[in-house]
Amino acid sequence: MIKITNLEKYYKTEEVQTIALNKLSFEVKEGEFAAIMGPSGCGKSTLLNILGLLDDPDGGSYLFNGIEVAGFNERKRAQLRKHNIGFVFQSFNLIDELSVYENVELPLIYTGVKPAERKERVHAVLEKMQIMHRRKHFPQQLSGGQQQRVAVARAVVNNPKIILADEPTGNLDSSNGNEVMDLLTELNEAGTTIIMVTHSEHDAKFSHRIIRMLDGQKVTENVLV
């Protein structure tokens, strides 16, 4: 599903060049649940952004579903992204001006799904995430756990092949955190590939494989399953 080889990313300021990713290589197979761990500043988020086609690598190769996407421009990346990738963030990143229902509906609107089908799919996913009763509420009226459930609903409503989660439980208490992890596990069991960046060893245990990083490089890989 995803294969990166010698991936490189630099950040330049006027005087210093920082290496964020240093010839990083690994592969994630379809249906896998991989966790990426490492201390702050090791390049986890940079990696996730490149994997999510939000950012461009400075070197190396990135095969997404067998297609080389390393040189893609913004427009092509956006096209690929909206049909294949769902995102879950630590800070939920829901749009405050939109209700729960509208937040979840938004990706379908952007991909041009017809209204009737939209309604059906949003309802289905809200039921599945058990937040149907909250569909008319606005994000600020929900608890953190509920907000993250909406974010997950929004990430999966387009049936993406892969979900990228950036510390999805970072802002949640343990019981809400566990609920979200259970959700991700369910999705994975239903066939969705998941790559999750996390600081939490507890959360990492939900995955099949942990990739540990330091200074932009992969240091170890533990297979859990």
Partner 1 sequence: MFKLYLKSAFRNLWNRKFYSFLNILGLAVGLATSIMLLMWVQNEWSFDKFHEQAENIYRINSHFKTETEENVWGTAPGPVKVYARDIPEIKKLVRINFASGVTISDKASERKFYNNKVAMADENFFDVFSFPFLYGNKEEAMADPYSVVLTRKTAEKIFKSDLEEIVGKQLISNGETFNIKGIIQDIPKNSTLQFDAVIPMSYYAAMFKAGGGNGQWKTIDTDVGNYTFSSFVELSNNASVSNAANKMSSKLKNAIGDNGDFNIFFSLQPLKDIHLISADGNSSSATQVNIIMLVVIMLLAIASINYINISTAQAIKRAKEVSVRKIIGANKHQLFLQFLLETTLLFAFAIILAMALIYLLMPVYNFIADNELAFSIFDSSVWKITGISFFATLIASSIYPALLLSSFKPIESLRGRIKSGVKSGTLRKGLVVLQFSMAIILLIATLFMSQQMEYMKNRDLGYSKENVVMVPLNSEARKHLDALKNTLNNNDAIENTAVTSVTDFSDIDGSTGDLDWPGKPKNSSIIITQVYAEKDFIPTMKIELLEGHNFFGTPADSSSFILNETAVRQMGLQKPYVGQEISFHSKKGKIIGVAKDFNFKHLREKVSPLILFSFWNIKNQLIVRTKAGQEDKAIAALASAFEKYPGEEPFSYSFIDDQFDTRYKADEQSETLFEVFAGIAIFISCLGLFGLSTYTAQTRKKEIGVRKVLGANVATIVSLLSKDFLKLVLIAIIIASPVAWWCMKEWLQGFAYRINLDWTFFLIAGFIAILIALFTVSFQAIKAAISNPAKSLRTE
121 binds partner 1 (CB under 8 A): no
62 binds partner 1 (CB under 8 A): no
110 binds partner 1 (CB under 8 A): yes
Burial class (CB in 10 A: 0-12, 13-18, 19+), 112: exposed
* Amino acid at residue number 203: D
Stretch of residues binding partner 1 (CB under 8 A), selected from 86-94, 127-135, 188-196, 209-217: 86-94
CA proximity to 71, closest of 80, 61, 79: 61
Q: How far apart are CA 92 and CA 122, in angstroms?
A: 18
* The residue count for the chain: 225
**Smallest gap from residue 110 Cβ to partner 1 (A):** 4
Q: How far apart are CA 124 and CA 174, in angstroms?
A: 27
49 binds partner 1 (CB under 8 A): yes
Span 157-216, contacts to partner 1 by CB under 8 A: 158
Q: How far apart are CA 21 and CA 70, in angstroms?
A: 14
14 binds partner 1 (CB under 8 A): no
**Smallest gap from residue 49 Cβ to partner 1 (A):** 5
- For partner 1, which residue of 14, 40, 75, 114 counts as binding (CB under 8 A)? 75
Q: How far apart are CA 159 and CA 98, in angstroms?
A: 21
Nearest CB to partner 1, comparing residues 46 and 206: 46
Nearest CB to partner 1, comparing residues 66 and 97: 97
12 binds partner 1 (CB under 8 A): no
Q: What angle (nearest 5°) sits at the alpha carbon of residue 202, between those of residues 200 and 203? A: 70
Interacting residues with partner 1 (CB under 8 A): 49, 52, 54-55, 75, 78, 81-82, 87, 93-98, 102, 105-107, 109-111, 154, 158
